[in-house]
Amino acid sequence: MWIGVADEHFGNYINQDEHGEDCGFCQDIGGWYDVDFTSIYVLEEPVDLMPVIEEIPFSECYEEALLKKCQELGITKANAAVSILNEAYAFDDPAKSFTGLKFVEVFPYTYTF
């Protein structure tokens, strides 16, 4: 899960369709992301976290943990979020910026019918 205030280059940075493996996000995460399991949500202007979190698929399964981790990282506003299901990521530099977004954590979710 990545969340934060995306900079003006975010659209180009995340565009795997146009740039393939050369997209900045792909390079930063170490390869392609599966578009069928990826949610990218972007607003024009930063807002409080909850309106952005509510747009993340399955976020109700880990909302409290996500909010707590965002507080720990100092994230109070956001205009973008990226969520990739069925993947695990870890980065050496916890302060790394993904064009303004921060990697928050991998959160488990439970799908029930």
pLDDT digits (tens, 9 = 90+) for 60-91: 888 899 999 999 999 999 999 999 987 888 88
At 110, is the pLDDT very low, low, confident or very high (cuts 50, 70, 90)?
low
pLDDT given for residue 113 in this prediction: 53
**Measured distance CA(88)–CA(105) in Å, rounded:** 9
pLDDT given for residue 19 in this prediction: 92
Structure tokens at 113: 């019918």
Instruction: Give 51-68 pLDDT, tens digit per residue.
Output: 999 998 888 888 899 999
Q: Which residue has the higher pLDDT, 17 or 113?
A: 17
| pTM exceeds cut of 0.75 | yes
pLDDT given for residue 16 in this prediction: 95
- How far is it between the farthest Cα atoms of the chain? 39
CA 101, distance to chain mean position in Å, is: 7
- Adjacent-strand bridge partners of 97: 102
Structure tokens at 24: 């900045």
